[in-house]
Amino acid sequence: MRRALALATTPGVPLGPNPRVGCVLLAPDGTTIAEGFHRGAGTPHAEAAALAEAGEAARGATAVVTLEPCNHTGRTGPCSEALIAAGVVRVVFAQPDANPVAVGGAGRLREAGIEVVGGEMIEEAQAVNRAWTFAIARRRPFVTWKFATTLDGRSAAADGTSRWVSSRAARLDTHRLRALCDTMLVGTSTVEVDDPELTVRDELDEPVAIQPLRAVMGLRDLPADRRIFNDRAETVRLRTRDPEQALADLFARDRQHVFLEGGPTLAAAFLAAGLVDEVVTYVAPMLLGAGRTAVGDLGIGTIADALHLHVSDVTVLQGHDGEDTNVRLTMRPHLRRN
């Protein structure tokens, strides 16, 4: 199973919309017959790839798969039927498939007389497809809210300037995190005021080949010359002020992980709705004393009602000169309402 998980995370495999899956076929003596992994939507599933490599050697084999074999026909056929036809006698999988479209593979295999064992290394398998697992269960994308702030909670100075609250090391790290998501979401105010391009760029400040979807939430019309509407990535308008509706629209587009990069008002709306699942903040060792706050009014009037966050990671991001430093905090809300 560890080898199957490693196959699932092969570099270059898309993070969505399909789950990443790995498969290892074992002979009765435990030796490896063949391996396979899913390379993205429209390509053979991991089981099909391994069976194609194994050929007749798959008869009598054990299939070790990171996700329960699917039981539906989409762009490719059901993996459960392919395993049955190949003569596999035992299937061991890690994570049950919660997708209502694909569920039922384990039952179909058992009906055919195949021994099935599920739940092996399930937590590790769920971590491989964190956003997909969440989105399938909640029927909405996982939301990561990212922002940069000074020690006193300011995202910009009194005159509106924000360069350089985040260090170069933090900005490079932000691009790394952007690349792990399939959607970047901002509001109309951010587009009007900051005019971001919202692309993923490398260390040379060049756009990478695969870009997340750029989504703009809000009702106001925007000038067509804003950089977010250029041809470096796809952009969609979400004509709503309701965070739940925005996420429903994105889920309908097969989007599973939203990187929320909007301003304080948009952040407050998602937080108030209980729709922030992870918080990543870059804290700069500086003080402003005044200026734009990192988040808008949450309607919290007393410390007892404060929104508490659980810190899961603290990392110091330091530049080459030792001065260009930010601290990255990764956190999650203790309670989610949706």
Please report the DSSP string for 30-89 in residue order. Answer: S-EEEEEE--STTSPPHHHHHHHHHGGGGTT-EEEEEEPPP-S-SSS--HHHHHHHHT--
What tokens appear for 52 in the block? 């194609």
pLDDT tens by residue, 162-211: 767 888 889 999 999 999 999 999 999 999 988 999 999 988 788 888 89
- Given a cut of 70, is residue 16 above it in pLDDT? yes
| Pair 153, 102 in one domain | no
Band the pLDDT of 323: cuts 50, 70, 90.
low
Binding residues for NADP(+): 148, 164, 190, 194, 263-269
CB of 87 closer than 8 Å to CB of 59: yes
Q: Where among 98, 129, 160 does a domain terminate? A: 129
pLDDT tens by residue, 57-108: 999 999 999 999 999 887 778 999 999 999 999 999 999 998 887 789 999 9
Question: Bigger pLDDT: 318 or 218?
Answer: 218
Least-confidence region, from 156-160, 226-230, 272-276, 300-304:
156-160
| Pair 194, 101 in one domain | no
- Backbone conformation region of residue 270, classed left if phi is above 0, alpha if psi is from -120 to 50, else beta: alpha
- Given a cut of 80, is residue 243 above it in pLDDT? yes
Instruction: Give the number of C-alpha atoms closer than 13 A to the C-alpha of residue 252, restricted to the C-beta side.
Output: 8
Q: What burial class does residue 324 get, using C-beta atoms within 10 Å of its C-beta: 0-12 exposed, 13-18 middle, 19+ buried?
A: middle
Q: Which of 281, 280, 269 is nearest to 338 (CA)?
A: 269
Q: What angle do CA 305, 310, 312 make, to 5 degrees?
A: 165
| Pair 123, 145 in one domain | no
Q: Where among 75, 107, 129 does a domain terminate? A: 129
Which entry of 35, 47, 68, 278 is annotated as an active-site residue? 47
Q: Where among 93, 110, 129 does a domain terminate? A: 129
CATH number of the domain residue 36 falls in:
3.40.140.10
CATH number of the domain residue 317 falls in:
3.40.430.10
- Given a cut of 70, is residue 336 above it in pLDDT? no
Band the pLDDT of 335: cuts 50, 70, 90.
low
Cα–Cα distance for residue pair 73/145, rounded to 1 Å: 36
Share of the chain above pLDDT 70, in %: 97
Domain span including residue 217: 139-333
Task: Confirm whether 36 is domain-assigned.
Answer: yes
* Mean pLDDT, range 6-33, rounded to an integer: 93
Task: Confirm whether 268 is domain-assigned.
Answer: yes
Q: Is 47 one of the catalytic residues?
A: yes
DSSP state of 180: T
* CB environment 277-312: b (16+ within 10 A), e (fewer): bbbbbbbbeeebeebbbbbbeeeeeeeeeeeebeee
C-alpha distance from residue 50 to each of 4, 43, 55, 268, 332 (Å): 11, 13, 9, 47, 38
Band the pLDDT of 239: cuts 50, 70, 90.
very high
* Mean pLDDT, range 239-250, rounded to an integer: 97
| Pair 271, 219 in one domain | yes
- Given a cut of 50, is residue 338 above it in pLDDT? no
| Pair 18, 118 in one domain | yes
Task: Confirm whether 158 is domain-assigned.
Answer: yes
Binding residues: 45, 70, 79, 148, 162, 164, 178, 190, 194, 198, 201, 261, 263-269
